[in-house]
Structure formats: C-alpha cells, structure tokens
Structure 1
Amino acid sequence: MAEADWTWMIYLATHNNAAEVGEESVARMRQAALNERVRVLVQQATPERTVRRVIGASPELAADLGQIDSGAPDALLDFVGWAAAAAPARRYALVLWSHGSGWAPKEIERLAQGAPASVPLTAAELQQRGAADTAGQVFFSSALRELIAKPTPADRAIAFDDGSGHSLDTVELGRVVGRAARALGRPLDLVGMNACQMSNAEVAYQLRGNAEVYVASAEDMPVYGWPYEDILSRLAAQPAMDAAAVGRLAVERYCAHFRENPLPWGQDGLPDGVTLTALRLDGIPALAGAVSDLAAALRAGIDDMAGAVWAAQRATHAFKFQLYDLAGFCRALPSAQGATADAAHAAGRVLAALSDADLLLASAHVGAAYDAVGGLTTYMLPPGEGALSPYYAATAYAQHTGWGEFLAAYHAALG
C-alpha cells in the first residue's frame, strides 16, 4: 500500500451511553469525500463489543475484538500500532472520542470489583459516582480504578469531588501518547480530543514532545462532536496540509458547524455554547515558564494578596473539574485590589505567552458567554470547596511550574 499523506486514527471509547451517538459520528465519517491520500481508521467500543473499521474500504469491518476494556491504555496503544501498520502515512492524527469521558454505573461496578476498598462501595454510592460526580468522567479506566479504590466513602468523595480524576487522566494520557510516539518513531502530528473539558494547560504540557499540535475544547462538547464529514473532506481535497493547518481547520469548521446549526444553548444540559482551541505544543514550555514566574510572585506575597487572587478568580470564567480560564484570570489579577506589581507583571507575561503564535494556532467559540475566554484552562480549586487534588502534584505541569505550591499557599492564606 502506498504511503498516504494523512492517517487519522479515531478511537471511540463509547462503552457507555454514548454508543448510539458514536455510531452517528462514524456515519458522518463515511460521508467524507476520502481518497488514498487521507485514510481514516476507527476503533469503536460499545457495551456489546469493540470493532475496527477502515472507513471507505470494502469490507469496512477489519476486526471484531469482542468485549475489551477500551479505557485500558494498552487497548489504545494496540489500536495505534494496528492503524499505523495498516495505513502508513507521512502524518498521523490521533483523535480520542468519548462522551464527556463518561462512565455508566455498571462499568464502575465492574472496576470496583477489581479494586476493593476497606469499606466497599455500596450500590447507592456506585450510582452516585456513575451519574452525579464529574470526576467519574474519566477516559482511562486506570484513573477511575484508582479513585474508587480509596479506602472509605469519605476518601472517595474527596477524590471524586476535587478534580483528581482529571489529574489522573492527564498523567495517563501523557504516558499513552508518549508510548504511541515511541512506537511510531516520532511525535504524533496531531492529537485531538472529541471529549469535554480537555483544553487545559496541564494536559497540553503533559503531551509536549510527543505531539506537534493539540486540539481540544475547554467547554463540554455536544454529542454531535466534530463535523468529520466537513473536516475530512476538506483535508482530502488538500492533503498536503501540515498539522498546524489541520488544527486551524478543525477549529474553524467545528465552530462554523455550530453557528450554522445552533442548539438550545444553556438548556437541557447543554453548555452555553462551544469552544475549540488548537495549540502548537512547541510553545507550551514558554507558557509554563511564564506560569512558573507567576506562581512564584503569587506565593511570595500571598499573605497580603490572597484576597486579590480570590477576587480575580471570581471574575474568571469557571468550567468543570475546578478548571478556570487562564487568560481571564491573568487579565483580572492586575486590577484586583492588593495585587503586587510583580504579580501583575508576571500575569502580563502569561497573557503574552498565551497569545504567542508559537503556541496559539487558533481559538474560537460560539456563544457570548465565552467572549472573554482565552481557550486554555488551568486547575484552580476555589477556597472553601474541599482539599486540593492529592493527584495534581503528579502532573508534569504542577511539578515544573510550582502552580500546585501556589494553590496550597493560597488556600492556607484564606484559611
């Protein structure tokens, strides 16, 4: 088989109540005007089975894997290896598709049986963790298994409520993408998240060096997901596009779709609109350096500046998982009463890094609620809403920026 320009590897972890909308998404992929220069390979999990497909091929079904844990890192890596061997290409895109990375109660019960706690999960707690807790919305089963293995209901409540699931998912995603890049012998050209709340600094930094371009949403993503028929058709018409151009294309066409096909935003569980951001990951270390300076400036004056930080945080757009828009916080901080000149200067450096073309390829939104957001979030648990995530320190971003140390000092200062 001749080498393609692009191979898209789309991994649908729809082993949950998103199986039907996952099927609809695959149907839209079939509508794309593909050719031999752009190949699309899919692994799709449902509660019944997991299958592999080569979109546009005859036969399309390449393998029926039976029931596997699509949240297992090795399952994702095996798919990447198969796709790269079946459709070698000059450039590779890996898209992870999951319904808010949601987990149904039955799946949590299955995992709980393999991660027993000293006080086992009851049926009522399983139902709560599956349906009500945002931390249950994780992509990797290894992350969820670690949360539900906490010894007591109180420990589990803290773990689920404080963003730990997101932290664990971030670390696991970095490991998997790193292993995938090593298997390919080079970084992935594009990593995309057809899932909710994944455009944040912690995730982007975890992927550095193993992917060139990262595309994700800071907000919840409607079940329609990416308009694959549009994006892939345009790519097939211009297959020589590089990863940066494809990242911009994805942002443009995603937001164009929802402008042209508006939903009842803010109703029936829908967000107030949509967001999508494409980042060039070569620029993420510079952002981390600026954040490190900001964290140091905030820690140095936190006893006198905690009120200013809290005022800036309250003025910043908040998303789920205790994630806040980073640009919004840095814009609000300098004008907050009590902010030091050093902190204001450092916040300005973060804003400059966020808008630098070496990092930001494109960021767009639909909905006035997002007019002031920058498209990249960061963890910032509000004071008085529990303990900081015990897993946050495991993220490379926290380790290299001191952001977790700042958060600890901030919480301690506000008592």
Structure 2
Amino acid sequence: MKRVVSILSVILLVCAFCSPASAAAQKEWTFMVFLNADNNLDSFGVGDLQEMVKGGGSNDFMNVICLLDRENAPAKLYHVTKDEAKVIGEPGEVDMGSYKELVKFVLDTAKAYPAKHYCTVVWNHGSGWKDINGEIIKGISYDDQSGNHITTNQLTIAFDEIKKGLGKKIDLFCFDACLMQMVEVAYAMKDGVEYLVASEETEPGHGYPYTEIVSGFKKGMTPEVAAKHIVKEYSKSYDGGSAGYSSTTQSAIKCSELNGLKDAINGFCKVALAGNYGAQFKNALNGSQKFYYRTNIDLGHFVELAQNQIKDESFTTAADKLQAALKKAVVINALSGYNTKNAKGLAVYFPASSYSFSSDYKDLAFAKETMWEQMVKDYYKKTTIKKVVKDVVSGDISSLRNYVSSANQNNREISAELVTKLNFSVFAEGGVDASTQENVKSLVTELKSK
C-alpha cells in the first residue's frame, strides 16, 4: 500500500510539473517571447530576459513567458516576475529555426497561460533577404546549431496553424529583429495576425527596451494601443533613452487593411505598366529611402517621389489611392536619428538592377497576388533594355558588355527580351556596321549561356 501511495505521489508531482499553469485564470494579456539567442546575439538575449524582470514581469493582468535558447546551451522556459525569471521547463535543444517549434511554443503557452489577448515576440536576426553562401533568402529566427530558419512562406503556415489552435488571430505580433517590416512579410501573415510591429531598418544590438515595454503595459490596453506603446518605447529608447542614440525605424501595421493595400498597389502597377515612366521611376528609385539591404526601399517615399515628377492624372489618382491605403495600414510610425528620416513605415523589394532581382521572389504570396514583380521587371525593360539597344545602334557596345558581365539566372527574362530587341534593331533593321554586329553576336552568345 505504501508503494502504491508513493507511486501515486510521483505521478501527481510529474503532472504538476508538466502543467504548471493548468489551472491558471485567464488574464488580459499573455506576453510571450520566442527568444532565439542560439547565435552571436547570446549575451543580448540574456540581457533582454533580465530587462523583462526589471520591467516587473507578470502581474495580476499579464503573464510574461520567455523561451530562451542560448548559444551552445539547451533551451529553457521562463515565467518572468518582478523578482526573477523562474525556470518552469527545460525542453533541451530546440530548433528555433523551425516554424513548428514556434507554433508549439505559442499554443502551449496560450494553453498554460490563457488570456484575452496574446502578444508574441520573435527575437533573433531578421533579414529582409539574407545572404547565405551567395544566395539571398528572406527569413527570421536563424538557428546556428540546426542551420534552419523560418521562411516567409512558413510564417503563413505557422500562423494558419496558430489561428486554428487558438480559434482566433494573434492579437499582436512583434519582430524584435532587423529588416522585417516589409509588405512581402506582412502580407504573408495578414490572415493570422491583427497587428504587426517590426522595423524597416536593422535594429541595434540592444533591440527592444523590454523594461519600458513590460512596465508600460496597462490594464485595459487594446491590441492597437499595445502596438503603439511598443513602437513609441522602442523609438524613445534610441532617441536619448535607455539605448542611447541611433537611427532606427519601428512601425505597426493593421493587417486587416492589407487587402485594401494590395488592391491599391495593383491599381498603381496597372497605371505604371501602361505608361512610359522609366526615367521618372529611375529618379524616384535613386532618391528613395533605402535600408541596410539596398534592395529594400520605403514604399511610401518611392511613391511620393514618383508622384512629384509624374503629372499624369491617372497616375496621380492611383498614387493618391496607394498613399491613402498605406495611411490606413500603418497605424503608427516612429523614427529616431537622421539616416531613416524618410521612412514611412513599410518597405518593399525593388532592386535597382535586374540581375539583383531574386528569382525566388515569385514564390511569395505577395508576388503571386499583386502585379508588383511585373511592374518592377517592366521598369527594367523600359530603362535597361532601351539604353543598351540605343547605345549599340549608335556603335557603343559598352553598356551591352556591362550588362552581359553582370547577367545571371535572376534576370533571364529581361535578357531574353534584350536579345529579341537586339536581333531586330541590329540585324533585321540594318544600319549597324559589320564590326559592331560581330561584337554583338559574340556578346549575345555569351548572354544566352547565363
């Protein structure tokens, strides 16, 4: 009998450990951080966990939970209070680069710490488009041990699964990471998230000011008010606040407005495709606010600069509609420093040269459901191809030689059209001397091999 009682006691203890908050009452907020420091940001991750403690941690209306995976160390799950970050789980080595682990973390935390509203933060390197062995890949949460990361399309899968598990969208999702506030990323998450907070530019190593963010959460905060609170505290911290001075960006997107933004972008693209605005777009692109990856430009600033040069009525109408849609989507945009002064809150992918345009872009939901890729490639045709053909016909093959030297698989579509135009202008129409024709033949042959 004593043995039976002992076994029963062990079972009860195990159950209590495995379900630390199985009887937890629902609170207003659960603030959960997926803190992937399994990389060279390890020390910053430990510091941010301590900042959550200094901010007061959990209280009567909010739970603060953090899954911290450190470099060369196993992951631990923490319940954060004003006194300590208490270990409540030791899952061992976790592949923080797997979207499945993100889904598991969110759903398990929501089950153990139920709340009216959920705020999820993914903490790690972010990339816009990350250069890995010469290949540029959009993603987040790079795990140096596994070599994995969460791709943009996997974010869609993750938040579809989270939405099904919770029975609702995540109220507030934040990227404490670099370069993630792009329309391509936001669009991938729009059906599973109410508000998205992120940065167009790189974030300094200190990242979010968790002390101010956690301590500033108040009873009765709505998701939109909470999103604005995080954006404001981040910007303040780098404008002479707790993190000193740096040029930074941070904005909040209302994801329910992204379908309207998509329609406005398509309307803008249609007008651009129908017009002959290559020169004006080139000037606007050159002057647009750019970020660490120069292929990322601020969408609102680009449209503003283009609109300043193009006085066509149909273009003005389409640009006005796009700016209005952006204003609805970006509920707050906060900046610090000088280098980001023209950032309006949402970046987009627009490389200056066709050879830099990633061939993988077409796989993104945003690319499939908008005309943005078509418009950008049309811009290359109206500028690059036009200039190269004009130069060759006049006897100058330097621009063609430069194009061929940089051509790759990313701009094969542009190259194919260039070859067609050259064949017609140089060989069919005539008027080009024999020496130039021979040089063009040689360069075209080289181009076709790329």
TM range (shorter): 0.7 to 0.9
Alpha-carbon deviations, 1:201-245, whole Å to 9, x = none?
A: 11111111211111011111111111111111121xx22111000
Task: Check if 1:35 corresponds to 2:69.
Answer: no
Q: Given the alignment, which residue of 371, 374, 379 partners 1:410?
A: 379
Instruction: Report the equivalent of 2:406.
Output: none
Identify unmatched segments of 5+ residues in structure 2.
1-23, 386-450
- Contact between 1:134 and 1:320, CA under 8 Å: does it hold in 2? no
Instruction: Report the equivalent of 1:114.
Output: none
Q: Given the alignment, which residue of 264, 279, 293 partners 2:267?
A: 293
Q: Which moved more, 1:19-28 or 1:45-54?
A: 45-54
Instruction: Report the equivalent of 1:347.
Output: 319
Structure 1 residues 404 and 145, CA gap change in structure 2 (3 angstroms): farther
CA distance in 1, matches of 2:292, 2:259: 25
Give the letter for the 2:248 counterpart.
V
Alpha-carbon deviations, 1:75-132, whole Å to 9, x = none?
A: 1111112211110111101110003469x9xxxxxxxxxxxxxxxxxxxxxxx947xx
- Contact between 2:53 and 2:85, CA under 8 Å: does it hold in 1? no
Alignment of 1:6-405 (within 5 A): 6-33=29-56, 34-47=58-71, 48-56=73-81, 60-100=86-126, 129=132, 135=136, 138-139=139-140, 169-235=151-217, 238-261=218-241, 273-301=247-275, 304-321=276-293, 322-336=295-309, 340-356=312-328, 359-384=329-354, 386-405=355-374
Shift of 1:282: 1.2
Structure 1 residues 332 and 58, CA gap change in structure 2 (3 angstroms): closer
Whose RCO is larger (CA < 8 A, sep 6+)? Answer: 1
Identity of aligned residues (%): 23
Alpha-carbon deviations, 1:127-158, whole Å to 9, x = none?
A: x947xx6947842569x999x9xxxxxxxxxx
Shift of 1:314: 0.6
Structure 1 residues 16 and 135, CA gap change in structure 2 (3 angstroms): farther
RMSD, aligned α-carbons: 2.7
**Secondary structure at 1:60 match in 2:** strand
Instruction: Report the equivalent of 2:4.
Output: none
Shift of 1:250: 0.7
Structure 1 residues 129 and 279, CA gap change in structure 2 (3 angstroms): closer
**Secondary structure at 1:369 match in 2:** coil
Structure 1 residues 263 and 62, CA gap change in structure 2 (3 angstroms): closer
**Secondary structure at 2:45 match in 1:** helix
CA distance in 2, matches of 1:31, 1:65: 25
Structure 1 residues 17 and 141, CA gap change in structure 2 (3 angstroms): closer
Shift of 1:295: 1.0
Q: Which has the larger radius of gyration?
A: 2
Structure 1 residues 68 and 264, CA gap change in structure 2 (3 angstroms): same
- Contact between 2:126 and 2:141, CA under 8 Å: does it hold in 1? no
Identify unmatched segments of 5+ residues in structure 1.
105-127, 149-164, 266-271
Give the letter for the 1:309 counterpart.
F
Shift of 1:28: 0.1
**Secondary structure at 1:81 match in 2:** helix
CA distance in 1, matches of 2:160, 2:110: 15
CA distance in 1, matches of 2:184, 2:281: 20
Structure 1 residues 53 and 388, CA gap change in structure 2 (3 angstroms): same
Give the letter for the 1:66 counterpart.
G
CA distance in 1, matches of 2:324, 2:303: 10
Structure 1 residues 310 and 31, CA gap change in structure 2 (3 angstroms): same
CA distance in 1, matches of 2:165, 2:377: 38
CA distance in 1, matches of 2:205, 2:39: 13
Structure 1 residues 134 and 246, CA gap change in structure 2 (3 angstroms): farther
Structure 1 residues 98 and 362, CA gap change in structure 2 (3 angstroms): same
Structure 1 residues 134 and 54, CA gap change in structure 2 (3 angstroms): farther
CA distance in 1, matches of 2:219, 2:157: 29
CA distance in 1, matches of 2:244, 2:302: 28
**Secondary structure at 1:251 match in 2:** helix
**Secondary structure at 1:254 match in 2:** helix
Shift of 1:379: 0.7
Give the letter for the 1:89 counterpart.
A
Shift of 1:342: 2.4
Count of matched residue pairs:
355
Alpha-carbon deviations, 1:330-368, whole Å to 9, x = none?
A: 11002336x743233212211111123xx2221110012
- Contact between 1:100 and 1:221, CA under 8 Å: does it hold in 2? no
Normalising by structure 1, we get a TM-score of: 0.79
Structure 1 residues 185 and 178, CA gap change in structure 2 (3 angstroms): same
Instruction: Report the equivalent of 1:5.
Output: 28
